[in-house]
Amino acid sequence: MKTIDDLQVAGKRVFVRADLNVPLADGEITDDGRIRAAVPTIAKLAGVGAKVIVASHLGRPKGAPDPQFSLAPVARRLGELLGEDVAFATDTVGESARGAVAGLADGGVVLLENLRFNAGETAKDDAERGAFADELASLADLYVGDGFGAVHRKHASVYDLPARLPHAAGGLIATEVGVLRKLTEDVARPYAVVLGGSKVSDKLGVIDHLMERADRILIGGGMAYTFLKAQGHGIGRSLLQEDQIPAVLEYLERAKAKGVEFVLPVDVVGAPEFPDLKTKAPANPSTVDAADIPADMLGLDIGPRTCELYASKLADAATVFWNGPMGVFEHPDYAEGTRAVAQALADSSAFTVVGGGDSAAAVRTLGFDEAAFGHISTGGGASLEYLEGKTLPGLAALED
């Protein structure tokens, strides 16, 4: 895979497919981590005289312009981080985009409007997707793929566009791939994996793949209750994917046969109702044994004994991969489990990887110094699919 160091970019129009898909609330960016992660590649290209055309998606618009998903706030924040004005095109391949690109001086940067405002970006039809890629290609001389959070998507700007221009990987993608290789090849042991999040079905593939590699797997979040139910425990009104119980039982049996330690919560924190995440009003939680959750209770976080247990299971690890919060961390009454796991990683001397998505957001929301972790990924879904052993279209498109 070529990198930007292999391209002659001075004076050239360089299309950078970044991942600037940041959370917004009332038009304001609530976590700019992905923008900050994109800055080094953009700044490097601009610094050597490239005319940089940055493109990204944001949210899930329906293939047409939708003001709530505009990248305008992102353009402003990107300019602040770069320390220079970033032009903003109000369309993707139309008059505004063409005019903005034509007006770029060497070292200038323009951000195109949300790629998903054009139906061709996400089209299942190869011809429709290819037609949009042709229009994007006409704007540029070179292509740099640096949106790791989107490389698992077969989208026009990720998969089709690199075939139409000389291309290379940006610094972020090169770093992400290097980190993921450390989690799959010649792994330093003991290797511990922490998996959370709401649905066990989202993580079955990665559990299956890591069963051959990890020494221990710690389970938290909403997905833990399907495991507890599979073991015959009462889980009250907690989240349950009953159709996944046979698969869960199979994994538990395989883990035992392979000597992989599966660690489940021993206590949980919960309440009869889901908390109000807008007001953050006190939720009056209680802590109960994980083997006997009351019938009227929702499990919403791992409990204090589980926090201690999980910290002890991570203490001697040489490699740790964490994806998914341990509970509803957005509410202070249910953030302690996620905080405990983050603290255990921050205190560890292991090579620690936070696998993007909600885990990365939790680290920042809870006030941790990002430098305390070995790597914080920008792509939760992409990281998981890589660890499942899947071919990621956006990486395949860069590997020639």
Q: Is 77 annotated as a binding residue?
A: no
Please identify which of the residues 13, 17, 34, 51 carries the catalytic annotation: 34
Q: Is 129 annotated as a binding residue?
A: no
Cβ–Cβ contacts within 10 Å for residue 55, how many? 27
Q: Is 178 annotated as a binding residue?
A: no
Q: Do 109 and 99 touch, CB atoms closer than 8 A? A: no
Residue 164 annotated among the catalytic residues of the structure: no
Please identify which of the residues 199, 213, 237, 254 carries the catalytic annotation: 199
Residue 221 annotated among the catalytic residues of the structure: no
d(CA 13, CA 57): 20
Q: Is 349 annotated as a binding residue?
A: no
d(CA 226, CA 241): 6
The one-letter code for the residue type at 139 is L
Q: Is 237 annotated as a binding residue?
A: no
What sign does the CA torsion over 78, 80, 85, 91 have?
positive
267-271 and 286-289 as β-strands: parallel, antiparallel, unpaired? antiparallel
Q: Is 116 annotated as a binding residue?
A: yes
Residue 34 annotated among the catalytic residues of the structure: yes
Q: Is 324 annotated as a binding residue?
A: no
Q: Which two tokens stand for residue 14?
A: 């360089």
Q: Is 21 annotated as a binding residue?
A: yes
Closest listed residue to residue 266, CA positions, set 239, 295, 231: 231
Q: Is 385 annotated as a binding residue?
A: no
Please identify which of the residues 327, 337, 357, 379 carries the catalytic annotation: 357
Q: Is 369 annotated as a binding residue?
A: no
d(CA 11, CA 282): 57
Q: Is 213 annotated as a binding residue?
A: no
- Report phi then psi at 358, rounded to 5: -65, -30
Q: Is 277 annotated as a binding residue?
A: no
Q: Is 358 annotated as a binding residue?
A: yes
Q: Is 153 annotated as a binding residue?
A: yes
d(CA 134, CA 12): 18
With vertex at residue 69, the alpha carbon angle to CA 63 and CA 73, rounded to the nearest 5 degrees, is 140
Residue 381 annotated among the catalytic residues of the structure: yes
With vertex at residue 363, the alpha carbon angle to CA 76 and CA 321, rounded to the nearest 5 degrees, is 120
Q: Is 375 annotated as a binding residue?
A: no
Please identify which of the residues 197, 236, 327, 381 carries the catalytic annotation: 381
Q: Is 60 annotated as a binding residue?
A: yes
Helix intervals (H) in the chain = 33-47, 72-82, 95-102, 126-137, 171-182, 204-210, 224-230, 245-258, 304-315, 336-347, 357-365, 380-387, 393-396
Q: Is 20 annotated as a binding residue?
A: yes
DSSP 93-159: SSHHHHHHHHTPPTT-EEE---GGGSGGGT-SSHHHHHHHHHHHHTT-SEEEE--GGGTTS--IIII
Residue bearing tokens 């292509």:
143
Annotated binding site for substrate: 19-21, 34, 57-60, 116, 153
Q: Which residues are catalytic?
A: 34, 199, 357, 381
Annotated binding site: 19-21, 34, 57-60, 116, 153, 203, 299, 330, 356-359
Annotated binding site for ATP: 203, 299, 330, 356-359
